[in-house]
Structures are given as structure tokens and as C-alpha cells.
Amino acid sequence: MEELGLQKSTEKVLSRDLKLRNRKITHYFYISSVLYMSALVIIGFWPTYFSHVFNEFPVRHWSMHAHALIFIGWLLLLLVQISLVASNNVKLHRKLGVAGGFYAILMLIFGVAAAFMLPLERIESGAWTLDRGASFLIHPLGDLVVFVAFFIPALYYRRKSEIHKRLILIASLMLVFPGIARIGMEQILTFIVWLFPLLAGATLDIIFRRKVHFLYLLGAAVLVLSVVGRYYISGSGLWLEIGRYLLGIF
């Protein structure tokens, strides 16, 4: 009986240590994912934006600079939030999460402003035709729609960490696609590089949970279909009519 009790005690200790190890690896994964996304955004926008910041400041409408600054702030906020959870400061994480919800609204406002300002500037300069600007408009607006579609459920499930953190990751991945698309890779490689955090997360799920969380599968499907679908829709007569009308408002 004494040996059986010792064996059970040892198994509990090993199980606890295994859970702590898996938890630590998971935190490293999410921190690495945000750093990875940040690096890809910087690389993608380096030639047309970030490189000029350190030399001749790029001439853009102020809303474009605000959009860039606010989005960088979003990535920093994600790092802080993950670090708080990793340090077991869940209380502060939740308080900051409330502010994060309002910050997301601010990001959406300036995201919409930048979505319209970029084509309007290029149309005014003569670099783009009206139809090209109208066609482009579906891409940034679509990114924001997909972000909201995952971010709102993330707020709803904020007390269910396994769901919440995956939804936040998927929502944020949608917003980094414009930077990744600018790197200039082959289409299939672009999608692999973009979705790598989901692939890595699914791999961890298989190792730790013996199955992939359905949100990784749903997220990957929605992200890919939204991007591919928009490329087909963007040149359609119906969308061009909608895009011209929206640009005409401004």
C-alpha cells in the first residue's frame, strides 16, 4: 500500500511538471508568433514605408501614419498581454484586455481611414485609375471584416483561454497579410509563411492534446478563402460599382 501511494504521488508530480512545461512552451509559442508577425510586417513594408522613416520621412496623409503607429501598438499590446499571462498576472491581463477592446475600435477606425486614403491619394496623383482604386478597396476592408469576425468572439470567450488566445491569434494574422503579401514570394509560399503560426500551433496541439483544435482549422480555411475570394471578386463589375460609389463618398 505504501509503495502504491508513493507511485501515485510520483505520477502526480510528473503530471504537474508536464503541465507546467507544456504551459511554458505554449507561452513561448505565442510570444514567438507575435514577434514573427511583427518581423514580417516590418520586412514587407520596409521598402515603401519603414526605411523612409529613418531617412526622408514618407509623405503620406496623417491618417496613414496614425494607422501604422496604432497597428505597431497593437502588436506591442499583444506581447504585453501574453507576458502578463506567462507571469501569472491574469488580473492585470484582464483589466488591460478591456482597454484592448477600445484600442481595437481605434485601430478599426484608422484602418478604414487608411483603406480609403491610399487609393484616393494614388487616384489623385494619377498613378491609379478610379477602377483600380475601387478594385483595391475590397482588400483592406475585407481584412478588417475578417478581423472583427474573430475578435468579437475572442472578447466573448475571454474567460475561456484555449478559445480566446486562438481567436486573437487568427484575428491578428489577418491584419498582417498586407505586409506579408508585399514581400514578393510565390503565392503558395506566401500562404505558408503567413499561416505558419497556425501550422505551428496545430503541431503543438497534436503533441500536447493529441488533436488539432478546430479553431486552427476554421481560421486557416476562413483566412485563405477570404483572401482568394477577394481577388476574384475585386475585378467583378458589381464590386467595381460598389467600390466607385464608396470612393465617391470622399
Instruction: Taking residues 31-40, report their average pLDDT.
Output: 95
Domain annotation covers residue 110: yes
Neighbouring CB atoms inside 10 A of 87's CB total 11
Is 48 among the domain residues?
yes
Average the pLDDT over 56-65 and give the result.
73
* Mean pLDDT value across residues 230-238: 94
CA distance linking residue 120 with residue 142, whole number of Å = 18
Q: Is position 162 within any domain? A: yes
Give per-residue pLDDT as tens, 145-197.
999 999 999 999 988 999 999 999 999 999 999 999 999 889 999 999 999 99
Q: Does some domain include residue 1?
A: no
**pLDDT at residue 1 in the model:** 53
* Domains contained in the chain, number: 1
Instruction: Specify if 96 maps to a domain.
Output: yes
Q: Establish if 18 belongs to a structural domain.
A: no
Q: Tell whether 13 is covered by a domain.
A: no
In terms of C-beta density within 10 A (0-12 exposed, 13-18 middle, 19 or more buried), how is residue 178 classed? middle
Per-residue pLDDT at 88: 87
3-class secondary-structure state, position 51: helix
Closest CA to 75 of 110, 113, 31: 31
Domain-embedded: residue 47: yes
Q: How many residues does the chain have?
A: 250
pLDDT of residue 16: 61
For residue 90, give the nearest of 34, 159, 166 by alpha carbon.
159
Domain residue limits at 49 = 25-249
Amino acid in the structure at residue 33: S
pTM reported for the whole predicted model: 0.89
* Whether pLDDT at 18 is above 70: no
Reference 180, options 72, 36, 65; nearest CA is: 36
Specify which of 4-8, 61-65, 117-121 reaches the highest per-range mean pLDDT. Answer: 117-121
Mean pLDDT for the stretch of residues 7-34 = 71
